[in-house]
A and B are shown apart, each in its own frame.
Chain A
Amino acid sequence: QVTLKESGPVLVKPTETLTLTCTVSGFSLSNARMGVSWIRQPPGKALEWLAHISSSDIEFYNTSLKSRLTISKDTSKSQVVLIMTNMDPVDTATFYCARIIEGSGSLGFDYWGQGTLVTVSS
């Protein structure tokens, strides 16, 4: 059974750095073609793709947020980590991680975590 679960702080202060962890089970991050992305959704607004780490450890970022984002993975812990610096109240959102089997025949993001709401406020 494939599952993803996000964890991290529910409240951060402006200018602080946010660190979120996505813990996966039911598949291995070391498997070929397994990639994980982070996606966010401000309350009442649209989904926004943030970052992706591929099966071969290549990182991709939303160009408008690239300077603030770092994505990494620890295969031994089955975890993908997102770091977002200089948080602002407009960054208040539900953050999701999602899995994709890359390449030919991909279904796209077929499994998602439940999401974690992060509020930015002093």
Chain B
Amino acid sequence: DFQMTQSPSSLSASVGDRVTITCRASQGFSNALAWFQQKPGKVPKLLVYAASTLQSGVPSRFSGSGSGTDFTLTIRSLQPEDVATYYCQKYDRAPLTFGQGTKVEI
């Protein structure tokens, strides 16, 4: 079965830190990789699509990169409002698998 493995599962960083979350796919695929931010009790919010394109309205401190099997979400300078759980997801074809999430705390 196709799997998306995110790491780390959680992290604690300070305001202003650079934060990197990785997502590794069990098989290579196109760049149809999205990153979502989910705050407690809220609906997931699309941050990045096509591996590296920032969704409209998303702060520029967020960036995505990668291809094939390895993808990365970077927060350039962590802010208090970035406390959330982040998920990667492939969306080119079924299964539209999510990673298991990375909880970011300050």
Contacts and interface: CB of A to CB of B under 8 A. Distances in A.
A67 interface: no
Interface of B is mostly: loop
B49 A108 contact: yes
Contacts of A106: 32, 49-50, 91
Q: How large is the interface on B (under 10, 10 to 19, 20 to 34, 35 or more residues)?
A: 20 to 34
B71 interface: no
Interface residues of A, number: 23
Contacts of A63: 1, 95
A49 B1 CA distance: 13
B39 to A, nearest CB: 13
16 contacts: A47-B38, A47-B89, A49-B96, A52-B94, A61-B94, A62-B95, A63-B1, A100-B91, A107-B46, A107-B53, A108-B34, A108-B46, A109-B44, A109-B89, A109-B91, A110-B46
